[in-house]
Structure 1
Amino acid sequence: MERTSRIVCAGLALILGINAVVQMAQPFWWYNAVPGVPATGPYNPHFVKDIGAAYLAAVLGLAWFAARPRQGWPALVAGGLFLGLHAGVHVFDASCSADPVRDLVRDFPGVFLPAIAAILVAVVFRPKEA
C-alpha cells in the first residue's frame, strides 16, 4: 500500500508539476487552454503565475513524500491542504453558477481528484504516535 501511495504521489507531482510550469511560463496559453478557466474572470497573468507557484509548492510536497515518506509527510500535508482548499473554492464557485453539476464534473479530474488523492494518502500514512 505504501508503494502504491508513493507512486500516486509521484504521478500527481509529475502531472501537477507540468501544469505549474506551464502556468508560470506560458500563462496566457494556459488560461485559454484549460476548460472553464476563462469563465472565472478576465485574464490576469500575475494571478495565473501565483496559482502556478502555489501548485509548484504542492508538487514539492507530493514529490518529497514519494521519495522519502517519513520525512516528506508534513510537506505532503501542506500540499494536500492547498489542493483541498483550492477544491473548496471550486465547490463554492460551482454552487453559485448556473450549472453547478457541469462545473463539478468538469473540475473533477484536474481539481478534485488530486485533492482527494493527496489528502487520502496523508491521512492513511499519518505517522503513528511514539
Structure 2
Amino acid sequence: DGFAAMGFPNCGGAIDGTHIPILGPEHQGSQYINRKGYFSMVLQALVDHKGRFTNINVGWPGKVHDARVFRNSGLFRRLQEGIYFPEHKITIGDVEMPIVILGDPAYPLMPCLMKPYTGALDSEKELFNYRLSK
C-alpha cells in the first residue's frame, strides 16, 4: 500500500479541501468570497493512496473554513462513531493501531486524524511532517 511505503501503515486516506470557482450568487454573495478574494464553493475530499476519491463533500460557501466543513460532514460523524473504518486496525510490533486519515494543519487533531506538528520542531518531528506532506 502506498501509505505504508511513506511511513504511515495505518493510514486509510488523506483529506483536504479546495475551492471551486463559481459565479457570484445574487443572495448571500459575501458568504461565497473565499480568503483569496474570489467566489467559490468548498470541495472536501478523502483520497486513497492512489489519489482515488473515497469520500467527497461539496457545496459549502467559499468563506467556510476546512475544519468547519469537516466537522459538519458525514465523514466526520462516521469517523467519530468508528464506522467509517469498521474493525480495521493493524498491529505494529505488539501495539494495535487504529486506521487514521492524514490532514493538513487546517484540520483538528483527533484520534482518527493525524496532522503536522507546529511550532519549534526537532528532527524527528520535521521528518514526520515531511512524510506527512508527501
Structure 2 length as normaliser, TM-score?
Answer: 0.28
Quick check: which one's strand share is greater? 2
Between 1 and 2, higher relative CO (CA 8 Å, sep ≥ 6) is seen in 1
Quick check: which one's helix share is greater? 1
Q: Work out which of the two has the higher radius of gyration on C-alpha atoms and give 1 or 2.
A: 2
